[in-house]
Amino acid sequence: MAGMKRNSGMRYAEARFADLRINKTAVEQRAATLTKRRSIKKDNQAGWLLRSISCMDLTTLSGDDTPAKVRRLCAKARQPLTAELVAALGIEALQLKVGAVCVYHNMISTAVEALYGSGIPVAAVSTGFPAGQIPLNIKLQEIRASVKAGASEIDIVISREKVLTGNWRGLYDEVVRYREACGDAHLKTILATHELGTLTNVARASWVCMMAGADFIKTSTGKEPVNATLPVSLVMMRAIRDYEDETGFRIGYKPAGGIKTAKESLEYLAMIKEELGDAWLSAGLFRFGASSLLGDIERQLEHHVTGRYSASYRHPMG
């Protein structure tokens, strides 16, 4: 995201979002059109799948994470496809790599070292991820510590209770503090959309986070029962579009959790292109939060080259 004009936010204005009402049926009908259209084929499909890889946050957020596991993931981030597949596709000059590697705080230094010289940023989840149920002062300390350790992107979780109780000003003030604690690191705000109750709440929370200075808005932690969906994505993308129209700032979008297949990644890219435009078809403004998506994309690209599907175990993430 280097060189991009960062969102400076705007003064809190509840009137801007208080009257938002989302028609759930209309949103679901629009999202359904993306799954019914004619699929992209052959070389065009391969090109879009390569775009998916370049917009991917390779992620490991497990209790059994070890330095060795993170180093393997970073090696995969540097070279997402095998040298043989890169040669067969004729994309050596592309120097393909992923958008970022996302880890817990304790693994930041390992990831920074493993990615040195690659230009791939390290993202860290923060603020009591995934539930966010710790005091604010500890959340701020965690952000500052992660930035100091070398994270250039911070994925925070918002306090869902502020949304559910309608404490929008409290949410705004909290995200402002997060942005301040991030300093030069980019702030990605995780809404945990499944836990917000309604699409109207998703739209309002998106606006509050952008007003407070978020550089990205993100659907989920990946730990909820339901994570990224196309209807939720449509609501958030349209909030981003409206915010740009009003302020001139382009906010990034990150669907996270549950996106496992190459076909699904193409649906999200199609929605981004149609709702926000070509400027969002890059890692600077769009990311997949994914840990298993890359494996299926590899299989599809291998099929494109050989006409055969390989076994999934041939494409480990780390």
Interval 216-225: pLDDT, tens: 999 999 999 9
Element (H, E) at 57: strand 56-59
The catalytic residue among 57, 155, 215, 296 is: 155
At 191, the pLDDT band (50, 70, 90 cuts) reads very high
| CA 176 to chain CA mean position, Å | 20
Sign of CA dihedral 43, 269, 253, 165: negative
**d(C-alpha 127, C-alpha 114), whole Å:** 24
Q: Which of 76, 162, 254, 296 is catalytic?
A: 254
Pair 193, 164: CB distance under 8 Å: no
The question of whether 215 is a catalytic residue gets the answer no
The pLDDT confidence band at residue 269, using thresholds 50, 70 and 90, is very high
Establish whether 273 is a catalytic residue: no
CATH classification of 26-314 is 3.20.20.70, yes or no?
Answer: yes
| pTM for this predicted structure | 0.94
Over the chain, what is the mean pLDDT?
Answer: 94
What confidence tens digit (pLDDT) does each residue in 22-49 have?
Answer: 999 999 999 998 877 656 777 889 999 9
pLDDT at position 3, please?
55
CA distance 167 to 124: 27
- Asked about 218 being catalytic, the answer comes back as yes
199-243 pLDDT tens trace: 999 999 999 999 999 999 999 999 999 999 999 999 999 999 999
